Structure 1
Amino acid sequence: MEKYEIVPVPTRILTHHDDICDAILEFGKDKIGPNDVVCAAESVVAITQGRAMRCEEFHPGFLAKTLSHLFPSKGSISSWYSMQALIDAEGGLRVLYAVICGFAAKCVGISGTFYRLAGEQARLIDDITGTMPPYDKHVVYGPANPTKVAEEITKACGCYGAAIADVNDLKRSAVLGVSKGVDADKVAEILIDNPFGNGSEKTPICIIKNYHRA
């Protein structure tokens, strides 16, 4: 695959008081060119949308407490609170159905069924251990309308395009939304080595330089 220069953009910790477009312009405007694609980490976009909730805002029920024990302890829905967040977002019956089907599928060697059936938030929710301070005591839902956000970033920054991405250090790269003209699969491959730094690095934004070559 063709190599692209990726420029991380350092920021301060972004919160629900921030607007993602304003933050990108504040910290990265002088780095963005007309042929570039601006990428934002999905958890930070969600936080700026006010989609982070403290654990005490959830009231885990019997279903959440039971189902959470069926998932690996390092998983994003292995706590009572994150499982209750999923149930609140997607519905208890849907989540229970997905667990049953997922277990049956695993018995015949098929993986990933639960996440395909349980709804979008099953893949996107970040548990309290998966988010940077001061949101390390929060459950963070996936961002709302990521494609719309990508279009807004493109318009605000005057760049070729934008993408909202969910990337980690385990070579898992998924693009949740892109602006018109941007290939989501291509961007996911470009970001596979995770150029984002949502912790002490404070680089939740990165720029793919000259994605659209003149």
Structure 2
Amino acid sequence: DDDAAAGLLLALREPVREVFASDSFAARPYADAPTVRALFEDFLAHPRRHDPERFWRLLNLELWLRDAVDADAAPAGPATAVDEAPTAPAPAKPDHEPNPGKELDLVSAEDGRRYRRFPVQTGLVDRDTDLQAYLRGEIEDFFRDLPADAMPQDAPWHFSVSEKIVAITQGRSYYTWEVRPSVAARVLSRLVTRTPAGIGLGDPTTMQLAIQEAGLPRIVLSAAAGAAGKVAGKRGVFYNVVGGNVRAIDGPTTYSTFPANVSAKLPPAEPDRVAAEVSAMIRAADIPAWAKASFAGTVVMDANDIGRNALGKDTAASAAVLEAAFADNPLGQGRERTPLAVVVRMD
């Protein structure tokens, strides 16, 4: 049974790791080796989240191929160039430096002010992560390591939290194999235009989440309105009809690091409440007094290369101003691992 299969995998973790880390496994076309390794590590930490038979099938196939096909090949060694894989995390960077290809400062098209966006790099979170404790550690580390001239002490700043990590810690993110798409989800997902910025509802798993979130009648009505809008040359009609929560549903993307490359997620629940709780935590955190005095609040932000949406906030700044400060998507959406930002109004 699954318990026995999982128990044996746990007992054999080291030899299984060696197989999944081998050159021969990395060279096979049937699986993405970095993702398999990441999933196996997640299985070791959280066995009940995964189907152990998946790992047994991959393991047995690899061992059979070695015996039946690679009999004359040299013994497999450790995989090389793991960090070059598309799903490998980006190298570590200081929090006061921009992401590669991005700028720290941006003059907002909304209010004409200059904003400095510090992208905060983090580790992975999961549904067992205590969001408040996790964010407190990150914000305290940020101000502890901040260079003296990086931001004016009297400049108002706000904290931006990616909606993705909020949703993950709320248990609203799922591995794709945890979602069972209906026939309706499979059909409707084919009607969605995919963009390089994200898969949106163009995957059966994300469409199924949308149906669960909004209901099938509303999704069908919105799809019909969207089709009519396309004929009339109007874009975004589907999302305008279906509502903002569905807009924030997102799915697996090959350019993202694990687990985003194998996950589908709902928008976070009660983002305004989350923003208020984060702000209260920051005001109680171990950060300099001047930082507390100039702190202006928190926003839960959904941003990518084609759009921004402030899902929840407790700051006096308008959603339009908050979104405009992220016009160039400074946190990225691939391997950067920067779901947080300290955003400073510089003038």
Distance change (3 Å), C-alpha of 1:198 and 1:21: farther
Q: Which stretch of the first structure deviates more once superposed, 129-138 or 182-191?
A: 129-138
1:47 maps to 2:180: no
Contact 2:299–2:315 (8 Å) recurs in 1? no
Q: Which has the higher helix share?
A: 2
Superposition map of 1:184-203 within 5 A: 184-197=319-332, 199-203=334-338
* Corresponding residue pairs, total: 211
1:79-121 superposed Cα distances (whole Å, 9 cap, x missing partner): 1111111111111111011111211222222221111112333
Shift in alpha-carbon separation, 1:180–1:37, aligned structure 2, 3 A: closer
Give the Cα separation in 2 of the matches to 1:121 and 1:72.
18
Residue pairs, 1:104-119, within 5 angstroms: 104-119=228-243
Please state if 1:167 is matched with 2:167.
no
Corresponding residue number in structure 2 for 1:82: 206
1:181 maps to 316
Residue identity matched to 1:22:
A
Deviation per CA, 1:24-73: give whole Å up to 9, x if none: 21122254578320001111111111111122222222211111111124
Distance, in Å, in 2 between the alignment partners of 1:97 and 1:84 is 15
TM-score normalised by the chain length of structure 1: 0.89
Counterpart Cα distance in 2 of 1:204 and 1:124: 15
In the alignment, residue 125 of structure 2 is paired with which amino acid? L
CA distance 1:187–1:68, change in 2 (3 Å): same
Gaps of 5+ in 2: 1-111, 144-152, 284-294
> 1:6 aligned to 117, 128, 131, which one?
117
- Indicate conservation of the 8 Å contact 1:133/1:199, yes or no: no
Greater Cα shift, 190-199 or 133-142: 190-199
Question: Is structure 2 residue 219 aligned with structure 1 residue 95?
Answer: yes
RMSD between aligned alpha carbons? Answer: 2.1
Question: Which amino acid is the alignment partner of residue 80 of structure 1?
Answer: P
Structure 2 vs 1, CA of residues 195 and 23 (structure 1 numbering), >3 Å: closer, same or farther? farther
Q: What's the TM-score, normalizing by structure 2?
A: 0.56
Question: Structure 1 pair 45/198, CA: closer, same or farther in 2 (3 Å)?
Answer: farther
Question: Gaps (5+ residues) in structure 1?
Answer: none
Q: State the structure with more CA Rg.
A: 2
- Does the aligned pair in 2 maintain the 1:129–1:136 contact within 8 Å? yes
1:64 aligns with 2:188: no
SS at match of 1:162: strand
Aligned to 2:276: 151
Letter in structure 1 aligned against 2:252: I
Describe the SS at the equivalent of 1:160: strand
Query: Aligned equivalents of 1:97 and 1:28: distance in 2?
Result: 43
Aligned 8 A contact 1:41 1:196 in 2: no
The structure, 1 or 2, with the larger RCO (C-alpha pairs under 8 Å, 6+ apart) is: 1
